A and B are shown apart, each in its own frame.
Chain A
Amino acid sequence: MNRLALWLDDRLGISAVLEFMTKKDVPQHRHTIWYYTGSSILLFFGIQVVTGVMLALYYKPTLQAANASVARIITEVPLGWAVRSVHSWSASFMIAAVILHLLGNVFTKAYRSPREATWMTGVLLLAVTLGFGFTGYLLPWDSLSLAATKVGTDLPKAVPVVGVWVTKLLRGGEDVTGDTISRFFIVHVCVLPLAILAVLGVHLFLIQRHGMSLPVKAEKQGERAAPLPFWPNFALREAGVWLVLLGVLVTVAVLFAPGLGPAANLMAPAPAGIKPEWYFLFMFQSLKLFPARILGASGEEVAVLVMMAGLLLVFLLPVIDNRPAERKGRIVSWFVAAAFAYTVAMTVWSLM
């Protein structure tokens, strides 16, 4: 046994990785709790991979069969309703965990030098995660998902020059049709998973390379307890968090399984009271409020450009907030808090 381990280690070099893991420390301070958000995302991502593969065993990405195949999953396939419900809820939980992870890193300013690239890969992961949510929402192909996809894929049109082509690329033509289902499906189950694994690999590598970030105050005042070894102390605590999250997820999924509307009809008017998934509500509400014309441009042109500028600002936040401990850093914090308040307010408003 020992010889086999040595033989393997000679070829794979695992002991170096294991040694790194046993030496890895997790700092302890008032904000240690934010460190758990990253691994929570990994938990939900893992659940999405497993339940996603299961659903793909029965799902059929065509105009005729998409809605019926989801109906079959939730009515005929043993425990299919539960698997689909877990997949749907775990998507929401994953995005909630991503948002908490982002907020934690913003408020502890974890993106400070030298962790700018870690933050930027994180923003890319956020974009890919939202892409998963957006493409997955269409697949059940009911009237809600059709209307949401028509709006979502029409938005890029407002971008000058390239916008029209982006819309065609997303839809597979001028309009949302059966081709859009195949396209969204293959992006959802192949393109985005490859993308997320690649970016996630870089993100995790950078976290190991730089170690855990400390909040500004903990770094300055030495206001912290002795660090916790990652293995086994922190890993055990994370396992506890995972267990609780798994319990909450399964409970919610069993009690509140999502329904399925009748198959989408490309010619039917949009149903009353349409709403996107909760994490797009703030954009939805903003789009309703933008007037038809603003200074010669159409309202949605302005809205799309504002959204793109917002995402770019988030991506570049470490470069903008380059003196986090000084006055400029506090001003940036106030702007971030205001943007967050706007997002929450718009979301709440759209629910009223």
Chain B
Amino acid sequence: MKLKYSLFTRRAFLNGLLGGGAAALAAMFIGPAVKFIFPPYREPDEVKLPAADAASLRPGEARSFAWGNKPALLKRAESGSLQAFVTVCTHLDCNVTYKPELRKFYCACHQGWYDENGINIAGPPPRPLRRLGVSVEGDVLIIRRQA
């Protein structure tokens, strides 16, 4: 169907074309600038520690290590198996501390508590602490991301 009159004036059409072109041009520059302000970061796939570090741990004892930029903790459970946790509170990202005498993790920021297996038990934390996989290969202890 052919309309008898135009829906746009010529001026509106040209203004739209010009404005749209300017917006596209701006987007071409803003896109890369936005990319620039987010630096790349990859979490480690695995962290290697000397197995001797773990061998000296008695049940209930723990030692800390770095998981990329985050603090983490290697702990021997009462059952004798090794556990690894990212010791960052699941509430608002504060670093938690392990209190061996209470067998609990504690976050000082908003008084959050986790039990010895990293399960949130009191205070605001919504989820358990993140667990990492532990395996021993020869004299190396390998800490891996857990699915």
- Give chain A's interface residues, CB within 8 Å of chain B: 147, 150-151, 153-155, 165, 168-169, 172-175, 177, 179, 266-274, 284, 287-288, 290-293, 298-300
Nearest 7 CB-CB pairs, A to B? A269-B97, A154-B93, A175-B69, A267-B71, A270-B94, A298-B126, A151-B92
Flag B78-106 by CB within 8 Å of A: 1 or 0 each: 00000000010001111111000000000
Chain B: how many interface residues by the 8 Å CB criterion?
29
Could you write out 21 A-B pairs with CB less than 8 Å apart? A150-B93, A151-B94, A172-B39, A173-B39, A174-B69, A175-B68, A177-B69, A266-B69, A266-B71, A269-B96, A269-B108, A271-B108, A274-B94, A284-B110, A288-B124, A290-B124, A291-B124, A292-B91, A292-B123, A292-B125, A298-B126
Of B41, B64, B87, chain A has the most CB atoms within 10 Å of the CB of B41
Provide the bound-state CA to CA distance between A32 and B94, in Å: 46
Binding site for A on B (CB under 8 A): 37-39, 41, 43, 64, 66, 68-71, 87, 91-97, 107-111, 120, 123-126
The B interface, classified by DSSP as helix, strand, loop or mixed, is loop
Which residues in A have their C-beta under 8 angstroms from that of B111? 288
Contacts of A273 in B (CB 8 A): 108
A245, B123: Cα distance in complex, Å: 42
Q: Is B95 touching A292 in the complex (CB atoms < 8 A)?
A: no
Q: Determine if B39 and A288 form an interchain contact, defined as CB atoms under 8 angstroms apart.
A: no
How many angstroms between the C-alpha atoms of A171 and B23 in the bound complex?
A: 29
Assess whether A272 is in contact with B108, with CB atoms less than 8 Å apart: yes
Complexed CA–CA distance, A153 and B92 (Å) = 9
**Which residue on chain B has the smallest CB distance to residue A276?**
B109
